[in-house]
Structure formats: structure tokens, C-alpha cells
Amino acid sequence: MTKRETYTVEVAGITRHFPLFEVAPGIRIAIFNMLGDTIIVKAAAAALAEKLKDAHADVLVTAEAKSIPLIYEMSALMGLPYIVLRKTYKSYMGEAVMASTVSITTGKPQTLYLDEKDKALIRGKRVVIVDDVISTGSTLKGMEAVVAEAGGEIAQIAAVFTEGDQDWSSVIALENLPVFTT
């Protein structure tokens, strides 16, 4: 097995080495996967919760799957409920709200679904959208569309990382990851 090139980052006082993967010809990104990394989840959640203390939020929302441990920990720290937008529809979700996006990591279209039971948690409420990495903004736009359709108001957008050189000044993020081109 060849040794994969990595990008070293410090976030919330924790140092990690993220593997670089090609997502398009000549374009590589550092892959942040917090699943199973309790130390980074707890540190990032605490740092984001602190930055969001004045957001006056009612509920936290994320898309499945890699941000689930982050939003769970933030929910516990902030004393707020959280909602996970699903990527597949299940019959028990009833009259779900949905929006379509394209993922940078898969390059494929995906649909986000808000379970019917969770609509009431968003309607008329101030929502913080949470993600692990905001890269192209496609998943973010999908989450924003679902929140708007459900009648929620976006109080803030938060992520562990933004990625690339877009203007992410409206996002509360702990760090920015570069996009590597060859």
C-alpha cells in the first residue's frame, strides 16, 4: 500500500493529518472524516457551541451522515434539539420536505428529506445549520431550502471547516481547508 499524501491541520486545539483525495482531474481535497474521532468531535462541538452562544437558536439542523456526532454533541452542550436531514426517503417519514443537491465528494445528485414529524420543530423557529465541511455550498443550499420550505428562519450557519477560496464570511467556521490543484 502506498503512503497517501496528507494535509496537516490544527482545529480546536487538536492536530490531525487529513488524506488528500482527487475529486476531479487535477483537483484534490483534504478529507475530514470525524466519524469515530471522539476527541475532534468534542473539541469542535465545544468551540462551535461557544461561537454560537449569541445566535438565539431554537434548533440545530444537519444533513446525514458525517456531521451527526458533531450535531449530537453540540445539541447536548447547547441544550437544543437537533434534526438530521436524511438522504433517502423512508415511508415512515410521511409528507417529507425535500431539496436536491450535488455532493462534491460523490459528484452525484442527492436529495435531502425532512421527516414530517420534524416540521413542527422548524416552523417559526430560529435554526442553526451545522455541517462538517462547507465546500461548494451545494449541500448548504439544499439544507437552506428545506428549512425555508418548513417555515424556519436561519439564525446562523456553522461548520468545522469551510473549503476553498469562496467568500464564506457568513459562515461561523473554525478553520478553512485549501483546495489543491495540480
23, β-bridge pairs = none
7-34 per-position pLDDT tens digit: 999 999 999 999 999 988 999 999 999 9
97, β-bridge pairs = 114
* pTM metric for this prediction: 0.93
Given a cut of 90, is residue 100 above it in pLDDT? no
Region 175-179: mean pLDDT is 96
d(C-alpha 100, C-alpha 128), whole Å:
20
With beta carbons less than 8 A apart as the criterion, state whether 60 and 82 touch: yes
With beta carbons less than 8 A apart as the criterion, state whether 128 and 55 touch: yes
Write down all domains in the chain, each with its CATH number in brackets: 34-176 (3.40.50.2020)
